[in-house]
Amino acid sequence: GGGVVRYVNNTNGGPVFVYVRNGKIVRITPIEFDDRDGRSWTITARGRSFTPPRRGTVNPYVFGLRSLIYSKDRLLYPMKRVDFDPRGDRNPQNRGISSYERVSWDEALDIVAAEIKRVKREHGPGAILNSCGSHHTWGNIGYWLSAKTRFMNSIGSSQVVHNPDSWEGWYWGAVHHWGNSIRNGASDTYGTVEDCLKEAEMIVFWSSDPESTSGVYGAFEGTVRRQWAKSLGIRMVHIDPFYNHTAALLGGKWIAPRPDTGNAMALAIAWVWITEDLYDKEYVAERTTGFAKWRDYVLGVTDGTAKTPEWQEPETGVPGRVVRSLARQWGSRKTYLSPGGLAGFGGACRCATGIEWARSMVCLMAMQGLGKPGVNLGCLQQGAPVDTHFYFPGYAEGGLSGDLDNTGLRVSMYQRMVQLPSMNPVSQLVPRMRIPEAILGEEITGYPTDPKSIEGQFRKFGYPAPGHSPIRLYYKYGGSHFGTMGDSNRYVRAYRSERLEFVVNQSIWFEGEAKFADILLPACTNFERWDIGETANSGGYSHHQFIQWNHRIVTMQHKCIEPLGESRSDYQIFLDLANRLGLGNLFSEAMTELDWCRRLFDASDLPTRVSWKDFVKKGYYVVPAPAEQNRAPVSWRWFAEGREKDVPELAPLPADYAEKWRKGLQTQSGKLEFESSSLKRFDPDDPERPPLPSYIPSWEGHHVKELYEKYPLNLVSPHPRYSFHTMFDGKDSIINDVREHRTLIDGYYYWIVRINSVDARERGIADNTLVRMYNDRGAVILAAQVTDRVPPKTVISAEGSAVYDPVGEPGHSADRGGCVNLLTSSRNIISRSHSTPSNSCLVQIQPWSSGDVS
Amino acid sequence: MNKYAFIIDVGKCENCNNCFLACKDEHCDNDWPGYSRPQPLHGHRWMNILKKERGVFPLIDVAYLPKPCFHCDDAPCVSAGRGGLRKREDGIVIVDSAKACGNRDLVSACPHGALWWNEEEKMVQKCTFCAHLLDDGWQVPRCVQACPTGALSIFRGSDETLREKIVEQELQPPPDSQNRGGSPRCFYRNLQRYTSCFLAGSVGVEQDGVEECGVGARVVLKKENEVVAEQLCDEFGDFRFDGLAPGSGEYLLEISYNGKVMKSGPIRLSASRSAGTFVFSS
Ligand SMILES: Nc1nc2c(c(=O)[nH]1)N[C@H]1C(S)=C(S)[C@@H](COP(=O)(O)OP(=O)(O)OC[C@H]3O[C@@H](n4cnc5c(=O)[nH]c(N)nc54)[C@H](O)[C@@H]3O)O[C@H]1N2
Ligand SMILES: Nc1nc2c(c(=O)[nH]1)N[C@H]1C(S)=C(S)[C@@H](COP(=O)(O)OP(=O)(O)OC[C@H]3O[C@@H](n4cnc5c(=O)[nH]c(N)nc54)[C@H](O)[C@@H]3O)O[C@H]1N2
Ligand code: SF4
Ligand code: SF4
Ligand code: SF4
Ligand SMILES: [Ca+2]
Ligand SMILES: [Ca+2]
Ligand SMILES: [Mo+4]
């Protein structure tokens, strides 16, 4: 009523109702179901019945959207850097310094199209580099893997290879013990909500804070399930240097190790199990290989060092008696292990010891009989008994990309959705963590993120690729890297290089990194264009990701308002450029975005349930919960019971089974391997990654004496709870007002660092003191929060600042925007990988005096 | 007459800020004639989430106290406001935009800190209980709808039923509100998580050359030689006496394990603290 129309849209923090009046968004709320929406499931466990509430939850940042859509930092017009003249002086050294002037769309697009043609003509293939963030406004058609990929393929461009940053230790390590390459080494988690509630006696959260990270895209769907677990008396233990929000909500034992030492604690747990007979010998004998060798290593038979709880104490700082008790409880109770907020994430996998940590998690589970009732992975964040047979694609299935090589198109969509194929003829690859070096023309090697097989990651590549041009034109989509990539001053400095002839940035907001472009193209949000998408359905590496949700919710993402200012949808921008390059119909197939939504709708199972007209009108469809007998079986149960694989995923590829299709794992032996056969084949003598999971001290930790004396604080940078990386931060949004996100001091919203009261006292730091956190890589100005939620000598400051605000020369001075990644290392975790060691970072902190720009 | 009240469970609040942000989504830049003028984009906290961290590393916990306007029955802001604020029949207290305009002093009329000054509008503002939505048929205000844990809820019914509920469920008025006055229509569950303090500690025992957790060690808490409480250490050898009043004097601890006894104290409890680790040698 009152002239208000209720639309539907979707976000990575949950689906929403959007109330619009007179062309303006009035409010954005979670979705509440009506009686006609698909039925919910019920789980009975220990004499009680559990049914989720009939609504969707949303993450806090979703409520910040209206303020972000109407933000004063929106890019509303095409812009040109004032001292950039494509026909004269380009002044690349002034990127990040000079201001912008408004230009017309025609002028901006003409410049970009002309530059694309020019660098191809003058330098040959490979001279164009495109990169973007990993995440995006929601929807299958507008996603970067869809429209952007199709456009970049059409013009031919060097591709950025993303390191598997969410998974690191799992991809480079765990995969060698249990396979699961299709999930980058993470675990599948089917049926685990029911199994955990029915059977488990304890949950060990290890580097796991689902109340902050929501797994990924899971909003607060898992919260009610964890509350059920608590009410059933399932015990909880939290191993995390931060007393995180999950621990704070659920309680239980908090064990706070020194960061970057997880592997030592894991070995000590194994030591207790072995010496006290607390492991599943039958399972180990029948389902695993290499145990005897690992056992001898753990006991110290091979290297003379018994990995006892007392041995780990100086390493982790956790008393031996606590680890001993943990091991006993874990070994004698049916236990779920939650490594990361999603089984196969966790800040602990993103550090110098992260590969060893993830590998040891697999070995611990192997010792406890992974897959037996109540013994599995997760923390009720994943594994709801929703319908996994109803088909709707995830964003990684490529939308309209037509790209069979670099999206998940060929998994299901290629035979469901008609589209012209698109292929990139340029085979030059740039590792994402080496973009700055690539721009500077240095020679680089990289290792691919290839989920097809365990061995895909061994295929080393080089840059520049033979016969290709180094990078000359950077087509940047979004502006996150200063806040999210390691040692990110490198990215700042690279922008200002003469070698980079042209930078175009296509962004919704005028964020820190956008300010380094020559031309800015203003994109609109998904609330200003049509799209279609299912909540938390990513597809690709994260097959069936939607099982985090209590209900599957597929949405028609209405165009709720007209694009603000002169902004345009990304699709439209690419089409406008394609038209100038004579590629218009090849790019669009003469279809509008709404036409593409219809095609995708038709390709899914939706038409068997709802008409296009009704779907568009209502805006969402809730997939009914399946009958109990049609629920997905529990992950790993088939393996524990020696049956054929029966969970609803078609991985590993048929050829990757040694014996018989669906019999055994992807590993060479088909078993859980304590000693990895793939690593033995690749390099049995690699000291950085030996075939047995081993204790390898961090290369940026307390063992590095000189560095540690100078920088005695371990910085942990988890994911920001109130933003999704850079996407909801800054930009004058109401998220700035969240006390634990940013703090307003003297009119400026500073990013927060948590510091223990002892460390704070020693340095004369109180709550809200402005501090300078620094090391040899740079300095960041932050607001201190003094707390006992972190141990002495550990500090916590999230990654993901969207603001880059150097107090002096860009790339060489302190940043008061809060990009803590200026301080993290760009080194690979191990040399034969492409990986980020975010949480191995030594720093010092001192009070900041405002004149200090260093 | 059905009247409204807030019922808030401190034990379920995880500081997600959904309530705080949903409130801003509803009120910033939105004018609800007859109810409220737009809230400024930054600065106001109509739903103000307070934090209490208790204890010393590593024996700590943290609690949050979401604090809206209490919609007091005997509201000091209404009596001081000369019509600037009014009480509706359903219990909701509303700022009358026309009459409140220009009166900056009103901010201090609320003893609970629930009024905020809007410089642009030149008037005080506060939580409206989302009366514009409830009057339009909504079942709950925005903050309650947004809360993922069930920490926030509202009551709608007669004062008599409310009184019964308060007794039955042991609901508490906001901390210190008795002294500040106003008879708040806002009640808390598990408020002791925020207001009380604890005395915690760990017990270790030396056995066969290593230290073990003092599982089952008996810990007795005494005050002036009277036993206040008694506990057995959990599987990690930890104990925690919770629900003690801050500043409630000096305590003694008596810890016994296998016939051996250790004593600690006097411990002055001004805030939650840890008595440390007690190790029984063999
Ligand atoms: N220190 C530290 N660093 C880390 C991590 C850590 O744990 N610690 N974690 C790592 C992990 S796991 C990840 S996934 C990365 C994430 O790092 P990134 O992927 O770099 O960060 P995002 O913020 O997701 O980037 C999304 C970008 O896309 C833009 N964008 C979004 N939607 C649209 C759209 O519709 N159109 C256009 N044109 N642009 C759009 C946004 O504005 C933003 O700039 O961070 C990594 N960095
Ligand atoms: N709100 C929000 N949610 C998100 C994201 C976001 O940016 N914002 N990002 C999404 C993405 S892309 C991803 S990959 C996931 C990431 O999900 P996770 O990888 O699970 O999240 P992190 O915050 O990196 O780490 C979780 C916890 O690990 C702890 N930790 C760090 N180092 C160590 C260590 O050495 N040992 C131990 N024991 N603990 C450690 C941190 O203190 C933190 O509490 O989150 C997703 N969800
Ligand atoms: S809390 Fe303050 S503003 Fe609200 S009714 Fe009571 S006195 Fe008035
Ligand atoms: S009831 Fe409405 S006005 Fe009051 S705090 Fe909640 S959302 Fe804000
Ligand atoms: S929404 Fe609920 S859980 Fe979140 S901060 Fe508010 S009251 Fe607490
Ligand atoms: Ca067990
Ligand atoms: Ca490939
Ligand atoms: Mo990630």
* pLDDT confidence tier of residue B265, bands split at 50, 70 and 90: confident
Which among B9, B15, B45 is the best mutation to test ligand 5's pocket, defined by most ligand atoms within 8 Å of the CB?
B15
pLDDT the model gives residue A851: 86
* pLDDT confidence tier of residue A2, bands split at 50, 70 and 90: confident
CA distance A74 to B268: 55
User: Complex ipTM above 0.90?
Assistant: yes
pLDDT tens digits along A709-728: 999 999 999 999 999 999 99
Sign of CA dihedral A538, A539, A545, A551: positive
pLDDT tens digits along B171-204: 999 999 989 999 999 999 999 999 999 999 999 9
Within the 66-125 window of chain B, which residues sit less than 8 Å (CB to CB) from chain A?
Answer: none
Q: What is the mean pLDDT of chain A?
A: 97
Check CB contact under 8 Å for A321 and B145: no
What backbone torsions phi and psi does residue A308 show, to the nearest 5 degrees?
A: -80, 165
pLDDT tens digits along A662-707: 999 999 999 999 999 999 999 999 999 999 999 999 999 999 999 9
Contacts of A410 (CB under 8 A, 6+ apart): A404
pLDDT the model gives residue B81: 87
pLDDT the model gives residue A843: 99
- Cβ atoms of A320 and A312 closer than 8 Å: yes
pLDDT the model gives residue A495: 98
Question: Ligand 3 atom 4: the closest Cα is on which residue?
Answer: B69
Question: Ligand 4 atom 1: the closest Cα is on which residue?
Answer: B129
Within the 224-243 window of chain B, which residues sit less than 8 Å (CB to CB) from chain A?
Answer: 235-238
**How far away is chain A from the Cα of B197, in angstroms, using its nearest Cα?**
15
pLDDT tens digits along A129-152: 999 999 999 999 999 999 999 999
Within an 8 Å CB–CB cutoff, is residue A136 touching chain B? no
Q: What is the atom index within ligand 2 of the atom nearest the CA of A61?
A: 1
Q: What is the atom index within ligand 4 of the atom nearest the CA of B46?
A: 5
Check CB contact under 8 Å for B20 and A256: no
pLDDT at B154 over 80: yes
pLDDT tens digits along A517-555: 999 999 999 999 999 999 999 998 899 999 999 999 999
Domain boundaries, chain B: 3-194, 197-281
Within an 8 Å CB–CB cutoff, is residue A223 touching chain B? yes
Intrachain domains B3-194 and B197-281 with the same fold? no
Domain B197-281 CATH assignment equals 2.60.40.10: yes
**Peptide bond connecting B58 to the previous residue in cis, omega within 30 degrees of 0:** yes
pLDDT at A824 over 80: yes
pLDDT at B67 over 80: yes
The structure's pTM equals 0.98
Ligand nearest to the CA of A366: 6
CA distance A248 to B61: 6
Q: What is each CA distance from A23 to A66, A565, B17, in whole angstroms?
A: 13, 13, 28
**Mean predicted confidence (pLDDT) in A30-40:** 98
Tokens of B27: 């009120």
- Cβ atoms of A290 and A674 closer than 8 Å: yes
Q: Is B227 helix (H, G, I), strand (E, B) or coil?
A: strand
Of the candidates A571, A510, A570, A477, which has an alpha carbon nearest to the alpha carbon of residue A76? A510
CA distance B141 to A79: 42
DSSP class of residue A593?
H
pLDDT tens digits along A175-215: 999 999 999 999 999 999 999 999 999 999 999 999 999 99
pLDDT at A650 over 90: no
CATH topology assigned to domain B3-194: Alpha-Beta Plaits (3.30.70)
**Mean predicted confidence (pLDDT) in B230-239:** 98
pLDDT tens digits along B68-88: 999 999 999 999 988 999 999
pLDDT tens digits along A512-524: 999 999 999 999 9
pLDDT the model gives residue A639: 98
Within an 8 Å CB–CB cutoff, is residue A243 touching chain B? yes
DSSP class of residue A145?
I
Check CB contact under 8 Å for A792 and B57: yes
Other CB atoms within 10 A of residue B18 CB: 30
pLDDT at B31 over 90: yes
Q: What is the atom index within ligand 3 of the atom nearest the CA of B113?
A: 2
- Cβ atoms of A513 and A481 closer than 8 Å: yes
Report every protein residue that has its C-beta within 5 angstroms of ion ligand 8. A 166
Ligand nearest to the CA of B68: 4
pLDDT tens digits along A736-778: 999 999 999 999 999 999 999 999 999 999 999 999 999 999 9
pLDDT at A1 over 80: no
* pLDDT confidence tier of residue B1, bands split at 50, 70 and 90: confident
pLDDT tens digits along A441-467: 999 999 999 999 999 999 999 999 999
Q: For A788, which of B55, B213, B277 is closest by C-beta distance?
A: B55
How far, in Å, is the centroid of ligand 2 from the Cα of A200? 24
Within an 8 Å CB–CB cutoff, is residue B60 touching chain A? yes
